[in-house]
Structure 1
Amino acid sequence: MSYVFGTWSFEEDSLRFKIADLLKKLTAVLLIVWLFKGPLKLEAYNEYIVWGIIALIFAFELMSVGKWFGVTVTGLIFALSKAFFWTALFLFFGKWLGLPETFQGDEAILTASTAFAYAVVLGIAGLLVGKTGFGKMKSKRWFKVEKKAYEFGGVDLGDVKVDGTGKAYPVLVGKKRVGWVIDGEVEVEAETPIGKVRKILHSPVVVWTSQKLAETKVEADPSFVERVQALLNPDKLYKNKESAKVVDLGIIKVYEGDGFQYVKLPFIEVIETPHGERVKVGPIRVHEGSVVSPLEDMVTIRELGNGFQLTKAGDRLAIQTDEYTIEVAGNKVTYRSGNEVLKLSKDYVSLKSGEISITVGKNRAKLRIDDTIISASDGKVRIRVGGKSYTIENKGACNLVIRKAKDIIEEQSVELIEGLGINRAALNRRVKELIDELMEHLG
């Protein structure tokens, strides 16, 4: 089994990886020797053995670079990060088993805490390099589509369902299954606070998930596998990588939303919110602020021939098409189409497009249409229209503005979601009606 990434080509069982496995076994033997250094009368060589173990850890990690994605800057950084992480574990538990003074105390050359700090910092550096053009990888073939087909009859992912029939082909990175490609016409349906979103997707459709979607084997189509293999290219899937808010490549997952960031790599996971952060490096978890619950498996459904992509990450949902994007976070929804943005939540709704801005919050509202501004809060209404300003202190007038602003957003949002955009004529008419009613309060 071979893989080609840019100018690098290797066999999975090449000499380099065999040497890496041999070094791992040698490290294990040396660890056992160090553990029984007393009975073996090797205490005089304690420091040399410890340095040998650390050197072997770095050697086998660096020799293993490229097992998954080919030799890249990102891969080298993560290899160093992993080496420091294993070193930190060894030094942390080794202090109770007779570590020499060189690795303990204020004068220590290298301690467990220092090694762990290097691991975390290098992990963060790897994330940053990886987000900048994916570490400058020019891989031609990250994935392998298996030439095995299974009968697909739909899948239920909670708030997201995929109905239809066809054949499902597993997608592998190395030996790890990271998703499936479906050959057949399917319909995806997602529950959102603004209603159900349905979309018929045309073959081929990739589902990035660790879940098992099919079991019964059927006859495979080799030509389909070859065609999909060419489509599963990171550079083709995400042409505008720098501006992508949601990236899913099976084993690399990035989700950036409103006040929320999620990044997952083979041995690092980061969740950042305004209320707290959670960083996981291997088995180590670090929390800051409010504890963030672990996400469910982030799942992405993508139509390879068109621009549709749906991603579910915990209680968050992102839908991207060539015409619009929808992001759902709990009971909050953001709909974007061109420069038109609609936001809805339990106590807040807003609609914006160029010089148009309408917002309604709890007991307040504001409308800005070109040079006309109407704001209402605390029983007071302020109006600026035609270069003149007015103030109305009347609770009824304030409630009128809030109610009318909500009605306008509801009317306009229906047309916006249906793809018709904001109806300027209807909007101007409703605003004029509101101003006429407000002027009656001025007497």
Structure 2
Amino acid sequence: MFEEEGLRFRIRNFLKGITALLLVIWVFRGWLDLERYNEQIALAIIALIFIIELLGVGRWLGITLSGIIFAVAKAFFIVALFIFVGGWLGLPSELAIYGFTITAKKALAYSIVLGIAGLLVARFDFPIRRKRDFMPKVEKKAYEFTGLTYDGIVVRGSGKAYPIKFGKKRVGWAIEGDVTVEVKTPIGTVRKRLVGPTVIWTRLNLEGKKVSPNPAFVDTVTSMLSPRIYEGKAESIIDLGFIKVYEGDGFEYVKLPFLEVISTPEGEEVRIGPIKIHDGRPRKIKGEMFTIRELGNGFQLTKVDDRLSIVTDEFRIEIVGNKVTYRSGSEKLTVGDNYVSLSSGDISISVGKGSAKIRIEDAIISARDGKVKIRIGDSIHTIKSEEAFKLVLKKAKEIVEEQSEDVIEGLGVDKARLNRRVKELLDELMKFLG
């Protein structure tokens, strides 16, 4: 443990005493005939809370931007408790500071948001001193690895599994050896051979027969376990065992040692230690957030509840139930129960229940209500034919499904074939115009 040395920390301790004295004075303000100064004393206490927390930045780890944000987040949390509990002792539920109003609920919200920001700001600008104490560590012991299965995800391979711990808690495993991951999706099976070293962030126990560890492998993985593996990337999914962040369509999940946030269309839930706050009725998360990652090449597969995400340097696939979304640069493919769509550059295709729309270069084909409209440049043609209408729906869906087969294999959109199929459809429709 470090000693609190220096003028800054001595001033901080002095201000702690002043704050404690003010709290006592505020509690007994009625007996001291100071009731008229109720809000002024409370505001002074709040100001001192922020000053004390900011003066404490760097006590253990050295000053960083994230440390400052965490200090402000903690101050807001203490202020939220003070205003909430103070309400039982006559403190107004809303305080005004230079035109800025603050309530217990607002202070708690600021605390949560700033806590998350502190983790993500400055590319995970973690402390300078004793940095390794605040990162997961690979233990120098190994167990025989023969694969695992988790919620539809199959990991095949053979080699050695090394426990990864954060503090005293095991948060994952480092795998030395050949590994292949396989998972079934609504549009096919994703199969990927991973290039080690590979880590699996999970609470699952993979302990088997003890084998001799490889010290060089342990050192290599330990040096690579850093938030900097996400550096320079606009990641919405981050997993380092003790930090888990998943941001998807209508879904956000953040889990830290002291904080858990779940946000769904049904509502939000925040847990801070034993404190649980609800807004609406968010769906409960089943199981854990499970992640497999290549440390060297950037492949990452993450499963949380009914969501599966596969991220590589070239593309990203997200699966929610029976809906699959693929993104790669300007290319996007979506396949659902009643809707499929594809967009790539100047080409877009969408097919819903009873409607379809295709755009290629300067031509647009739309089908709805038993009619087909074709616009080429300034010319517009309308085909009132049930046969033509069904043809567009059928061909548009076939085109998207054809592309999905290549996409799930990681080959991307075949633009040449896509152009050819759309132009073939356009030629067939022209026959209906005579």
Task: Decide: shared fold, TM above 0.5.
Answer: yes
For residue 246 of structure 2, what is the aligned residue in structure 1? 255
- Long gaps (5+) in structure 2: 14-19, 25-30, 33-43, 97-101
Residue type of the alignment partner of 2:250: G
Instruction: Call closer, same or farther: CA 1:107–1:244 in 2, change over 3 Å.
Output: closer
* 3-state SS of paired residue (1:123): helix
Partners of 1:62 and 1:80 within 8 A in 2: no
Flag the 1:224–1:435 CA change in 2: closer, same or farther, 3 A.
closer
| Greater alpha carbon shift after TM alignment, 58-67 vs 156-165 | 58-67
Residue equivalent to 1:184 = 177
Counterpart Cα distance in 2 of 1:200 and 1:188: 6
Native 8 Å contact 1:81 1:120 kept in 2: no
Deviation at 1:122, TM superposition (A): 2.0
**Contact (CA 8 Å) 2:80, 2:105: kept in 1 or not?**
yes
Partner letter of residue 339 of structure 1? S
Equivalent residue for 2:294, pick from 291, 299, 303: 303
TM-aligned CA distance change 1:421 to 1:108, over 3 Å: closer
**How do residues 363-374 of structure 1 correspond to structure 2 at under 5 angstroms?**
363-374=354-365
Amino acid paired to 2:160? K
TM-score normalised per structure 1? 0.76
Percent identity at matched positions?
Answer: 52
Determine if the alignment matches structure 1 residue 74 to structure 2 residue 57.
Answer: no
2:218 pairs with 225, 240, 243, which one?
Answer: 225
Q: Could you give the per-residue CA deviations for residues 36-82 of structure 1, whole angstroms, max 9, x where no partner exists?
A: xxxxxxx99xxxxxx99xx99x9899979777x77544345445645
Given candidates 351, 373, 380, the residue that maps to 1:382 is 373
Q: Contact conserved, 2:326 with 2:407, CA < 8 A, in 1?
A: no
Q: How far did residue 106 of structure 1 move?
A: 6.7
Give yes or no for the alignment of 1:205 onto 2:194. no
Question: 1:157 & 1:138 partners in 2: Cα distance?
Answer: 35
Rounded Cα–Cα distance in structure 1 between residues aligned with 2:274 and 2:395:
54
Does 2:228 match 1:239? no
Question: 8 Å contact 2:136–2:241 — kept in the other structure?
Answer: no
Q: 2:340 aligns with which of 349, 352, 361?
A: 349
The answer (yes or no) to whether the contact 1:65–1:79 under 8 Å persists in 2 is no
Q: Residue 72 of structure 1 contacts residue 135 of structure 1 at CA under 8 Å; is this kept in 2?
A: no
Per the alignment, do residues 268 and 386 of structure 1 end up closer, same or farther by CA in structure 2, a change over 3 Å counting? same
Map of 2:120 onto structure 1: 131
After superposition, what is the alpha-carbon deviation per residue over 1:279-314, rounded to whole angstroms, capped at 9, x for unaligned?
Answer: 222333333344332353111111112121111111
Deviations for 1:336-393, whole angstroms, at most 9, x for unmatched residues?
2343221101111111110111111111111111111100011111001364210112
From the superposition, tell whether residues 288 and 393 of structure 1 become closer, same or farther in structure 2 (CA, over 3 Å): farther
Q: Write the distance in 1 (CA, Å) between the matches of 2:215 and 2:403.
A: 49
What does residue 166 of structure 2 align with? 173
**For residue 330 of structure 2, what is the aligned residue in structure 1?**
339
Hey, what's the Cα distance between the residues in 2 that align with 1:107 and 1:357? 52
Matched, 1:161 2:154: yes
Instruction: Report the 3-state secondary structure (helix = DSSP H, G, I; strand = E; otherwise coil) of the residue aligned with 1:165.
Output: strand
The one-letter code sitting in structure 1 at the alignment partner of 2:399 is I
Task: Give the secondary structure class of the aligned counterpart of 1:132.
Answer: helix
Gaps of 5+ in 1: 1-12, 24-29, 35-42, 45-50
> Residues 394 and 222 of structure 1: is their aligned pair in 2 closer, same or farther, counting only changes over 3 Å?
same
Q: Does 1:315 align with 2:281?
A: no
CA distance in 2, matches of 1:387, 1:92: 65
Which stretch of structure 1 is more off in the superposition, 426-435 or 123-132?
Answer: 426-435
Q: What's the CA shift for 1:408?
A: 1.6
Normalising by structure 2, we get a TM-score of 0.78
Match of 2:260 among 252, 269, 274: 269
One-letter code of the match for 2:141?
K
Pick aligned residue for 1:293 from 284, 294, 297 = 284
The answer to whether the 8 A contact 1:248-1:254 is kept is yes
Give the Cα separation in 2 of the matches to 1:354 and 1:107: 52
8 Å contact kept, 2:359–2:365: yes
Cα 1:338/1:124, change in 2 over 3 Å: closer
Does the Cα contact within 8 Å between 1:340 and 1:352 map onto a contact in 2? yes
Distance in 2 (CA, whole Å) between partners of 1:356 and 1:327 is: 22
Aligned AA (2:151): G
Partner SS for 1:203: coil
What pairs with 1:408-427 in structure 2 (closer than 5 Å)?
408-427=399-418
Letter in 2 for 1:348: Y
Please state if 1:401 is matched with 2:392. yes
Alpha carbons 1:66, 1:75 under 8 Å: kept: no
RMSD: 3.9
Tell me how far apart the structure 1 counterparts of residues 56 and 423 of structure 2 sit (CA, whole Å).
72
Q: What is the CA–CA distance in structure 1 between the aligned matches of 2:183 and 2:395, rounded to whole Å?
A: 30
Counterpart amino acid of residue 204 in structure 2: Q
The superposition leaves residues 389-428 of structure 1 with CA deviations (integer Å, 9 ceiling, x where unpaired) of 1011222221111011111222233234445544444434
Which residue does 2:109 correspond to in 1? 120
Counterpart position of 1:38: none
SS state at 1:307 partner: coil
Between 1:258-267 and 1:425-434, the stretch displaced more is 425-434
Structure 2 distance, partners of 1:64, 1:170, is 32
Measured in 1, the distance between the counterparts of 2:392 and 2:261 equals: 44
Matched, 1:435 2:426: yes
Measured at CA, do residues 406 and 325 of structure 1 come closer, stay the same or move farther in structure 2, by a change above 3 Å?
same
Q: Quote how far apart the aligned CAs of 1:212 are.
A: 2.2
User: 2:288 and 2:54 mapped to 1: Cα distance?
Assistant: 27
Counting matched residue pairs gives: 398
Partner of 2:315: 324
